[in-house]
Structure formats: structure tokens, C-alpha cells
Amino acid sequence: MPGNVAVTRSTLRQQIADALRDEVLAGRLQPGRAFTVKEIADQYGVSATPVREALVDLSAQGILEADQHRGFRVPEYSLADYRHMIDARALVTNGMFSALGDGHPAFRVPEDPRTAAALAAVRRRGEEAQRAAASGDLTVLIGYDLRFWRELSNLFGNPYLADFLHRLRVQSWVCAVQHLRRLPDIRGRLWAGHTDLVDALGRREAEAARAIVAAANAHALDLIERLAAG
């Protein structure tokens, strides 16, 4: 019986975290929006414990901020914050791609069919992200973009690097979405070069991969800067 209680609490914790993360990434919870554990527990009709655990999890991911003695709130990232996130993402991905030139074992293609299969799976995520970008579905795009980068970074075999990059990408989406939601139509406005990047990595072309990501970062920064300027 105690085990069932633990599983139930863990499931609630994940469900609440998923729901709140989706609300923030969809832009429905605006930057600066504050709330308490009790408020969320009452909203979902659950006890405070799984809610508190879910909010702490989201704070660790950079989706929420703990407001000491007051509860939690959606971060209010500035344009300068966004620039720093982009710079940090570039440093991480450049480091990842440099491993291609060093003969990283994860990219011995076609020698290792497992790598080819893994790249194919990542490419499918990229195709879904591209379709969402083309159709203008920002929520779906964010979901697939995060999965794409998570699975791609996992190929390099360093879970700390993968977790760090995922956190950066989540935070940058949290920052960007408040501006992107102002656009009446995002079709064709956002980067959709996911498959080009996978193909470059599959060919172990580190410089081409860096160039693709650099262009993506420049595009994202330019768009958010223009939107922020009104």
C-alpha cells in the first residue's frame, strides 16, 4: 500500500509539472505571474505535497522561479537575458560539434548502425518540428524542438551536457514565447533547419553544423529583438 501512495504522488507531481510547463510555454501564464502552492493545489484539487514538488522541479528547469516565502512566479527574462542564453547555447553546441572532428564514437557513420538509427529518429523529430513551423503551430513546434535537441545532445553521451543544453533551450523558449505570441501568424517566421543539421552531423561536417546553428541563433535573436522593439 505505501508503494501505491508513492506512485500516485509521483504521477500527480509529473502531471502538474507537465500542465504548468505547457501553460508557461504556451504563453498563457505571463511573465511575472505569481502563485502559491495552495493556489495550484486548490486549482487541481490535490494536496500540497505533489504541487510543491512539481513547482520545485519546474524551478530547477528554469521554467519558474522560487519567490522566497511568497511562492513561485513565471520568470521575467529581459532581452539581455535572451542574448546571454543564445551565447551560452552556441558555446555548448560548438563544443559538441568539435567532437566530430575528434572522431567521437557516437558518429561513426555508417560503421555503427545504431548511430544511423539514432540519427534517423532525431531527424524524424526535426521533420515534425519543421511541419509545425510551416503550419504556424507554436505549441507543437516548441515541443518537438525541445525533443529534437534533447535527443540530439544525448547522442554525444554526456548527460550533464544534455541536461544543461535542455535547460538553456527551455529558458530561451520561455523568454521568446512572450514576444512570439504577439505575431498573428508565425508560419515561415521561425527557424526550421532541423533536418539540415542532422544531415550535416551525419556526414560529420562540424563546420557546416556550426554554420547552421549560428544562422539559427542569429535569426532567432534578430526576430525577438525586432518584436521586443515593437
Q: Please, which pLDDT band fits residue 8 given cuts at 50, 70 and 90?
A: low
Cis ω on the peptide bond leading into residue 75 (within 30° of 0)? no
- pTM value? 0.86
Topology of the domain covering 2-73: Arc Repressor Mutant, subunit A (1.10.10)
Has residue 212 got a pLDDT over 80? yes
Break the chain into its structural domains and give their ranges.
2-73, 79-228
Share of the chain above pLDDT 90, in %: 61
Question: d(Cα 133, Cα 113) in Å, to the nearest integer?
Answer: 30
Topology of the domain covering 79-228: Four Helix Bundle (Hemerythrin (Met), subunit A) (1.20.120)
b/e code 195-221 from CB counts within 10 Å (16+ = b): bbbbbbbbebbbebbbebbeebbeebb
Task: Give the CA dihedral 195, 200, 206, 209, nearest 10 degrees.
Answer: -30
